[in-house]
């Protein structure tokens, strides 16, 4: 089990990168690789995923409780919940079928992560500049066909380094969704997606769970939650005025720097 400082570092990295299009998984794996931390313990790996989920649930509690309690009774609430669940469907099916391959093969390839960061950064720069004129102004009125298409884009994030939020945001922008709405829909889509992924990991790893270092796990969870909430509150205003290009450049710089370090033997 990691010591307290390492656990805190990973919790902070998870929270700060989960909702921006830079790949939290890619950053976590590269940090672990270059600091010689090894693979995070299964328990810690699962728990820090739950922090950002809690942050979204707290920040959007009013909206979430409204649409859930009125699902099936009000058209707008029913349509919104349906759009999110429809977008979640592709990842649910493909993630369940390919879970073991993704964890055993793709997560053990740092070079793949670096190239995913670089290529994803180039794509993000291009789409941020060349995306079609928005026709969907807010996340509450996402057409069901576009929601499903965004869900298919999200499946690309099963490759470490691609970024779940990056894939969904790029897909949404290409489909004519407003930048702020693209980010906000990605937030809502993260709830079933990340909760489903954490639940599947929990079932698959149930015999490897270890809560002996509870203080380290708790610190990582709290930092992931607080930093994730900070990013959510900051991101919507930022992308509304400045777009996603800075995140594209960040991906390219981190991916290229890490790739150079790997080829130099680090």
Query: What's the pLDDT at 1?
Result: 45
Q: What is the pLDDT of residues 88-102, one digit of tens each?
A: 999 989 888 876 676
CB atoms within 10 A of CB 81: 17
250 half-sphere exposure, CB direction, 13 A CA radius: 15
Q: What is the pLDDT of residues 126-180, one digit of tens each?
A: 999 998 999 999 999 999 999 999 999 999 988 888 889 999 999 999 999 999 9
Please tell me the distance from the alpha carbon of residue 70 to that of residue 86, in angstroms, as a whole number. 18
- Judge contact between 54 and 220, C-beta under 8 A: no
From residue 68, alpha-carbon distances to 77, 80, 86, 144 in Å are: 7, 10, 15, 18
249 confidence band (pLDDT: 50, 70, 90) = very high
Q: Is the dihedral of CA 58, 3, 193, 166 positive or negative?
A: positive
Q: What is the pLDDT of residues 202-226, one digit of tens each?
A: 777 666 666 666 788 889 899 999 9
From residue 253, alpha-carbon distances to 18, 166, 223 in Å are: 18, 16, 25
Query: What's the pLDDT at 32?
Result: 81
Range of the domain at 98: 4-263
Q: In this model, does residue 47 exceed pLDDT 90?
A: no
User: How many domains does the chain fold into?
Assistant: 1
């Amino acid at each position: 089990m990691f010591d307290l400082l390492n656990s805190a570092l990973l919790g902070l990295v998870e929270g700060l990168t989960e909702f921006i299009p830079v790949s939290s998984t890619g950053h976590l794996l590269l940090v672990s690789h270059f600091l010689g931390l090894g693979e995070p313990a299964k328990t810690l790996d699962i728990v820090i995923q739950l922090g950002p989920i809690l942050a979204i649930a707290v920040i959007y509690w009013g909206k979430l409780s409204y649409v859930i309690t009125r699902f099936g009774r009000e058209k707008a609430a029913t349509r919104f919940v349906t759009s999110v669940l429809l977008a979640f469907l592709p990842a649910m099916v493909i993630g369940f079928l390919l879970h073991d391959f993704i964890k055993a093969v793709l997560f053990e390839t740092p070079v793949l992560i670096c190239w995913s960061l670089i290529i994803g950064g180039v794509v993000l720069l291009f789409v941020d500049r060349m995306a079609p004129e928005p026709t969907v102004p807010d996340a509450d009125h996402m057409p069901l066909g576009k929601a499903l298409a965004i869900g298919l884009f999200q499946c690309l994030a099963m490759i470490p380094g691609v970024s779940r939020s990056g894939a969904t945001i790029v897909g949404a922008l290409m489909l004519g969704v407003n930048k702020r709405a693209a980010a906000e829909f990605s937030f809502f889509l993260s709830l079933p997606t990340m909760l489903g992924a954490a639940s599947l990991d929990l079932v698959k790893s149930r015999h490897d769970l270890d809560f002996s270092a509870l203080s380290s796990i708790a610190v990582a969870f709290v930092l992931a939650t607080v930093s994730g909430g900070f990013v959510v509150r900051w991101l919507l205003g930022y992308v509304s005025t400045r777009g996603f290009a800075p995140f594209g450049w960040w991906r390219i710089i981190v991916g290229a720097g890490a790739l150079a370090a790997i080829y130099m033997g680090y």
